[in-house]
Structure 1
Amino acid sequence: MELIARRFAEIIAGNIVFSENYGESIKKWRALFEVSQKELAERLGITPSVISDYEAGRRKSPGMSFIKKLVESLLDIDRERGWKTVSRYKDLLGVEFDVIQDITEYSGPVPSKRLAEIIDGELITDFGRMAMGHTVVDSLRAILSLSSYDFYKLYGLTSERALIFTGVTTGRSPMVAVRVANLKPSVVVLNPINGENVDRLAVRIAEIEGIDLIASDVERDELVERLKQLEV
């Protein structure tokens, strides 16, 4: 796992350095590792307000030395937690990480109806499917940047999972991508959109493939936060 962690360190550091918004990138990685501003600040020997200022863009871009220490701190914390985060993402090495917004495996099968309830979603097609985990992806980035091989990596440990596409306007494009892939998810969530605005072709594809389709207009960060109820 140490070798994988070192590769992750390179990916995280590069993602922050080359991000158009370094503060959002720092915040994203801190959230993915489930580390509070206070905990990270203590590791770095600074105040939480400094982390807050960086994430909000109130301070100029941090130098490489600071970024290196920040990344090392995140990985040190994860190591102490038994590689909780790195073990989740190890199969996604090589995938553009701006595509991935969250990925989680569940301790047991979760009915799509329960998933819909948690995110205030509308269950548009209901085949009684279960999900053993979820992957939250930026819809546009996924469609534009992922190869067919990379797309399969979104499934994590099992295809019996919910693929949650954010930044959706009608749902047609992500469902077409699912349609042409050989591996199918059990559940697809379209966000932020309500059921009335879901494209009819998207619904038809879900019906053909036997996928439970959910539309949720909950704001993305709130959606990810609610999904934590389903974590291991």
Structure 2
Amino acid sequence: RIAGEITMAENPGVVIRKWRDIFNVSQKDLSRKLEVSPSVISDYESGRRKSPGSRFVAKLVTCMLDIDDSRGGAIIKEYSKLMEGSKFFEAILAIKEFNEPRKIKDIIRATESEFLVGEKNLDNAVYGYTVVDSIKAILELSPLELSMIYGTTTQRALIFTQVKRGRSPILAIKLTSLRPSIAILHGLEGTPDPLAVELAKRERMPLALSHVEAVETLIEKLRELD
């Protein structure tokens, strides 16, 4: 399934990076396992090198699984149930746990966001982020799968892309009964939905609006935090 997503992706390098982040494997460790230069992985992820062939992708996925297995298999065990017949990973554009905690103000700065709710929480800790395709998440994921977007901790930034007004992502958060450190809306069409803002206030959940134009740029800016 992972290999298929990479091979069929419009931008395979972005998907390779997403899965490498999920498995928490560095370019150096992955390249060592693949017996290639770290620059090869970097070139694929940045788009400098053309799309990898199916054999290379299969080997790359096997290496990530082997590395995870050597660490006890925590990642594959955590996600194995979701992978069978699930749209979970199609809805997740990027997911990362920080090596060192950041603050909400760091996330706000990186995502070029403005607060809609909770501007007094600038110094609250954030331990990771998840960038979510809001349309796929809301249409395809079950409540259990929605709860999995929090990764290893709820003290993270949830960034929802392809947002029209913002109501659906906030309702989805409310459905899980879990609260992120901050929710950020990206790609908003028009003004934020007043109900979304009111719900965020009632849940005492910081809510912000990102002004970064492209999703790819947004993800790159977040990656620069770690």
Using structure 1 for the length normalisation, give the TM-score.
0.71
SS, match of residue 94 in structure 2: strand
Match of 1:210 among 193, 204, 219: 204
Deviation at 1:24, TM superposition (A): 2.4
Deviations 1:88-123 (A, max 9, x none): 676344152111111122244433222101211111
Match of 2:89 among 77, 89, 97: 97
SS, match of residue 51 in structure 2: helix
The amino acid of 1:173's aligned partner reads S
SS, match of residue 230 in structure 1: coil
| Distance change (3 Å), C-alpha of 1:24 and 1:90 | farther
Tell me how far apart the structure 2 counterparts of residues 74 and 169 of structure 1 sit (CA, whole Å).
Answer: 36
Deviations 1:167-189 (A, max 9, x none): 21221111111122212222101
1:184 matched to 2:179? The reply is yes
Moved more, 155-164 or 203-212: 155-164
Match of 2:148 among 141, 146, 153: 153
Tell me how far apart the structure 2 counterparts of residues 29 and 183 of structure 1 sit (CA, whole Å).
Answer: 29
Deviation at 1:159, TM superposition (A): 1.4
Tell me how far apart the structure 2 counterparts of residues 32 and 153 of structure 1 sit (CA, whole Å).
Answer: 15
Tell me how far apart the structure 2 counterparts of residues 226 and 213 of structure 1 sit (CA, whole Å).
Answer: 19
1:113 matched to 2:105? The reply is yes
Deviation at 1:208, TM superposition (A): 0.8
| Distance change (3 Å), C-alpha of 1:157 and 1:67 | closer
8 Å contact from structure 1 (residues 88, 104) kept in 2: no
Matched pairs, number:
203
Identity of aligned residues (%): 31
Tell me how far apart the structure 2 counterparts of residues 91 and 189 of structure 1 sit (CA, whole Å).
Answer: 26
Tell me how far apart the structure 2 counterparts of residues 156 and 137 of structure 1 sit (CA, whole Å).
Answer: 12
Deviations 1:25-78 (A, max 9, x none): 454124542649xx59x8469x96x953327xxxxxx45x443224235556x5
Task: Note the residue ranges of structure 2 that are not aligned, 5 or more in a row.
Answer: 21-25
The amino acid of 1:12's aligned partner reads I
SS, match of residue 197 in structure 1: coil
Tell me how far apart the structure 1 counterparts of residues 138 and 129 of structure 2 sit (CA, whole Å).
Answer: 18
Using structure 2 for the length normalisation, give the TM-score.
0.73
Tell me how far apart the structure 2 counterparts of residues 221 and 204 of structure 1 sit (CA, whole Å).
Answer: 29
Deviations 1:145-178 (A, max 9, x none): 1111111111111112211111212211111111
- Cα root mean square deviation, aligned: 3.5
- For 1:1-232, list aligned pairs within 5 A: 11-16=1-6, 19=8, 21=9, 23-25=10-12, 27-30=14-17, 32-33=19-20, 35=27, 43=35, 52-54=49-51, 62-63=53-54, 65-75=55-65, 91-93=78-80, 94=82, 96-126=88-118, 127-128=120-121, 129-193=124-188, 197-218=191-212, 219-231=214-226
Deviation at 1:130, TM superposition (A): 3.3
8 Å contact from structure 2 (residues 180, 205) kept in 1: yes
Task: Note the residue ranges of structure 1 that are not aligned, 5 or more in a row.
Answer: 1-10, 56-61
